[in-house]
Chain A
Amino acid sequence: MENIIQVDTLRKEFKSYSSRSGLKGAFRDLFTRNYKVIPAVKDISFTIKKGEMVGYIGENGAGKSTSIKMLTGILTPTSGSVVVNGMNPHKEREKFVRSIGVVFGQRSQLWWDIAVQESFRLLKKVYHVPDHVYESHMNHVIESLDIGPLLDKPVRKLSLGQRMRCELAAALLHNPSLLFLDEPTIGLDVLVKLKIRNFLKEINQKYQTTVLLTTHDLTDIEALCERVIMLDEGQIIYDGRLSKLKSSWGEGKQIEFQFADPKIEKLNLAVLTNDLQTEWTSGNKKNVWVANVVNDEELISEVIARVVAAHKITDIKIHEITTEEIIRNIYEEGVIQ
């Protein structure tokens, strides 16, 4: 399959100045300033193929937004090359942006004071979408996102969830082959999130739309993306399947016991399972102890059997390590094995 996005040793540096301290420092700042060059994105390379849905994740300030802005042609790279849809985003901006759709969760691209349908009408003209294409495509989008009743309302009167669905429809109005989503579900409730996810899946299947999704909500990524690219301090620290990330990092399971007897101690439990590979930690509630074990059916059964046989319990839960925890671990340790 062809590469939709091709990024090679991409780098972006920002020049920023630091203020000197105190009144004297402030006066000195009037004349000369201390400039510092801060690299936001450090020589990253990756490729994305047509039809892929890729999660682009990283902490705040990891360089996600900066790299997305370079991919969309808003920012000029300091060095390195970007080829998206066969074009250099910055050089051929007007032609290039016709082939992409962008949703910024934190800023609106609809016109604030006018009805949604007027924004759509303007965008239709801007992207030269012919009437019949617009009719068939947009009717479907409007129906799937359930925004029909919102079209005649001014954007400022919409709720966040309503607005976000309209933003998504606006970004897809010209049926772009590549869609950038920068935190599209920020602050949305579960139902709206589900609706948006289902819609994205459908669009991806129907038109082979490539999607690059940035989000802090990992459930979005789990629901949509098979592949993740993880950024930390401007560098890619992981690029591969989400399932692989989970299997290599989230191997263990946690068995959480709540005991009836308040006098249970770690020692009692450790004795019970001393010949099994188990590590006991105290839970976050009273009388709750957690056994950390590897993901092995027999081991799990054996641990449960022994504990239940020896002590009365009031509750038991088995946790799988969540993606969120995996990612937290990765950031804390800072490396990928």
Chain B
Amino acid sequence: MSKYVEMIRIRFLMMLAYRTNYYSGILIYSINIGAYYFLWNAIYGEKASIEGMSVLQMTSYVAVAWMARAFYFNNIDREIAQEIKEGKVAVEFIRPYHYLIMKTMQGLGEGLFRLFFFSVPGMVIVALIFPISFSASGITWLFFSTSIVFSFIINTQINLLTGILTFFFFNNDGLIRAKRVIIDLFSGLLLPISFYPGWAQQVMNFLPFQAISYIPSMIFTDGMTGSAVYNALWFQLIWAILLIVPIQFLWIIAKKQLIVQGG
């Protein structure tokens, strides 16, 4: 286990090695949150609420959705694809660890780094500039924390799946890009799921994406309360377990037909 913890530490060091990325990240996220804040203010206009959400809830939703994204988001699909394309995956196979767990830990290292050095201070700054409602109840914070852990797990699992597919397609930049757009759209990052038409909401109930962003953000803004929260957490847990199946399945096949490219 200590090797996986050590990997988180290494990832911290790597994040620190690239400071420019870190600073530009802060800028990009602030611009996004600012833009959505003004956009939603304009859409609401004089209306008190849309689809049961007040403008204050909405702007809090946007801010927390982006800050949570800093934690769960990672590029391990792209990294896996690159390692396969460059043949670096050969080196990973001569190490006594599980490649996918190691990748997950790298993602976690990256996520924790951004959570502490980016999301938390960022949220404080955002709260100073824009009016945002924070829940006072401790239980909401507990649910929210549990929920973003699942967000991380599910998002990482989807990334692993996309990454492993490179073993079969060799070049799947298109797929990776498509996955990113789908997650931004269907996870509720850009628009809460409750704003979609009824049939689309029905469809999305059968997909894992809303577990990534919509559920934690709704919990945080008290848009989801009571038994709905429990149902949402169950939804996340079930998907986290379900997604192990295709990953394991593809991984076994991938290992069998691994071709190390380039020498």
Contacts and interface: CB of A to CB of B under 8 A. Distances in A.
A94 B101 CA distance: 13
Interface string B87-99: 1101101111110
Contacts of B7: 122
Contacts of B95: 97, 126
Contacts of A126: 3, 6, 95-97
Contacts of A125: 2-3, 6
A102 B90 CA distance: 10
B94 A76 contact: no
Interface in B64-113: 86-88, 90-91, 93-98
Interface stretch (A21-29, A67-75, A296-304): A67-75
Given A74-B260, A111-B10, A125-B2, A93 B93 contact: yes
A75 B17 contact: no
B260 A75 contact: yes
Interface string B238-259: 0000000000000000011011
B181 interface: no
Nearest to B98: A94
Interface residues of B, number: 26
A309 to B, nearest CB: 55
Contacts of B88: 107
Nearest to A102: B94
A311 interface: no
Interface stretch (A80-88, A113-121, A227-235, A254-262): A113-121
A265 B196 CA distance: 95
A98 interface: yes
Contacts of A107: 86-88, 90-91
Nearest to A112: B14
Contacts of B197: none
A97 B255 CA distance: 16
A94 B90 contact: no
Interface in A95-138: 95, 97-98, 100, 102, 104, 106-109, 111, 113-114, 118, 121-122, 125-128
Interface in A178-194: none
Interface in B1-36: 2-3, 6-7, 10, 13-14, 17-18
Contacts of A102: 91, 94
Contacts of A98: 96
B10 A114 contact: yes
A72 B91 CA distance: 10
Contacts of A76: 255-256, 258
Contacts of A113: 13-14, 17-18
B259 A118 contact: no
A74 B14 contact: no
B17 A114 contact: yes
A114 B17 CA distance: 7
Contacts of B86: 107
Contacts of A106: 263
Contacts of B6: 121-122, 125-126
Interface of B: 2-3, 6-7, 10, 13-14, 17-18, 86-88, 90-91, 93-98, 255-256, 258-260, 263
12 contacts: A74-B94, A74-B258, A76-B256, A76-B258, A94-B98, A111-B14, A113-B18, A114-B17, A118-B10, A118-B13, A122-B10, A127-B96
**A-B pairs with lowest CB-CB distance, top 5:** A125-B6, A125-B3, A109-B91, A126-B3, A113-B17
Given A74-B90, A74-B93, 6 more contacts: A14-B259, A72-B93, A102-B94, A107-B90, A126-B6, A154-B17
